[in-house]
Chain A
């Protein structure tokens, strides 16, 4: 069987929407389901995965691999006891702007590393034009707050141009009257939302305890929603749900029928 990893881009246009939380919890859920999973932090200016897992930055990570200073295999570590792998952002806190060539070289190496799933956490607003072909899909994470949803719309348009399938994940849903409702959000985004994740205290606890919320409480509303999100992935790696692909084509038709 073709062992190329299924690569998921965890992205958002606006910061503070919970993109990294989603990335590490999807990682934890897929690992719990039995897959070999790697999560990569590419947000060199604001690396969050290390702190969320209680793993101090070791110094060598994505930034150093991009610059050719270290082999990618040497930067990975294991999050015990679940056993998913993690590559930290590295760097010195200043954003790096890799060329498409550097990105493609990086992902070419990473995709051969024998993982079922690779989840890549990106800085808010990243355009990875020129390297989107490495990904099977992008999750666009938003909150139900208006400016965040406008940002998701912007990012969706960028992905459309690169023909990268994308799915909307609405995070921190409270269902109060001060947030946009699902219908309004979907109208702005241009397609149905793929997953709704509730505002949940378990996430706050998980940040303090440095364990993904999914592992802290499998029965929490948040964890159950992550399970819902991962349902389409929870098939043999390399055979993504056909229903997922259809949704992607639906979006293309909406945006002017390419």
Chain B
């Protein structure tokens, strides 16, 4: 049995929607029948717990990595979706972790029974000592030149570390001053794997502490998340599970390909 497929959800700039994407993607993948763990590794602006309605935690990832709490005790089930969440305390300091602490935690998650582990991270391109945890990195950008230029730098870092990167463009409005997907692909020299539209329902979800994918499955953002979830599931090699929501032909399509 292969271990969990671990994804780093990342961006170079803050405010591009990284945490909203990480939480909704985890919900979607879990609801397709794949046990998913969502980890908040952002110590500067821990948002995952808030977006999932779990914000008043007294122990989180920092405590687990520092050996002050167990992985099991800090992991919380999200009632509405079944996703397991390892959040961050809102008032956590931005800590440094030793190579040993990083390795020990990496071993823990790799030995766990989850099919997917989605990790929300701090924006930036500082060299990431946890890079060995990841099978794939999602780079979240918006359709603007400055954002894409810095996304390219992050992708280059991942490339040097041998981590597969996937480009997701968020907050797309198809306005004239935006870069087109084609222009972004030319700049990045790589196909865009996910397009998420600007969607008023997202802020409703944020305000209500309910992932928008649960609030409105058909809303534009949710549909985009659905596509990305399906792509991730098919690409990671996880087959054969019965989805938790009614299948819409996608899994039978995959089975035909096997």
Contact = CB atoms under 8 A, between A and B. Distances in A.
The answer to whether A and B interact is yes
Interface of A: 13-17, 45-46, 48, 51, 93-95, 124-125, 145-148, 150-151, 154, 177-179, 207-208
Nearest to B202: A178
Chain A at the B interface: SS class: loop
B198 interface: no
A46 B123 CA distance: 11
Nearest to A93: B153
A51 B204 CA distance: 32
Contacts of A46: 12-13, 146, 150
Contact of B19 (A48, A94, A95, A147): A147
Given A13-B44, A14-B14, A48 B146 contact: yes
A51 B148 CA distance: 14
A146 B206 contact: yes
Top 8 closest A-B pairs, CB basis? A16-B15, A15-B14, A178-B207, A147-B47, A15-B15, A125-B44, A14-B45, A178-B203
B181 interface: no
B206 A145 contact: yes
Give the most central of B44, B122, B177, B203: most A CB within 10 Å. B44
Interface of B: 12-16, 19, 44-47, 50-51, 90-91, 94, 122-126, 145-146, 149-150, 153, 177, 203-204, 206-207
B45 A13 contact: yes
A51 B144 CA distance: 11
B15 A17 contact: yes
Contact of A179 (B13, B46, B145, B207): B207
Given A15-B14, A125-B44, A147-B47, A45 B125 contact: yes
A90 B254 CA distance: 49
B114 to A, nearest CB: 25
Chain B at the A interface: SS class: loop
Contacts of A45: 12, 124-125, 150
A146 B44 contact: no
A147 B205 CA distance: 13
B126 A15 contact: no
Contact of B123 (A15, A151, A177): A15
Given A145-B206, A147-B50, A14 B15 contact: yes
A254 B90 CA distance: 20
Contacts of B91: 154
Give the most central of B45, B94, B150, B204: most A CB within 10 Å. B45
Contacts of B149: 93
Nearest to B157: A94
A178 B177 CA distance: 27
A193 B146 CA distance: 31
B90 A150 contact: yes
Contacts of A154: 44, 91
Contacts of A177: 207
B123 A178 contact: no
12 contacts: A14-B14, A16-B16, A45-B12, A45-B150, A46-B146, A125-B44, A125-B122, A146-B50, A147-B19, A150-B50, A150-B90, A177-B207
A10 to B, nearest CB: 15
Given A45-B150, A147-B50, A124 B14 contact: yes
Contacts of A151: 44-45
A150 B149 CA distance: 29
Nearest to A124: B14
A124 B146 CA distance: 16
B164 to A, nearest CB: 23
Contacts of B46: 147
Contacts of B12: 45-46
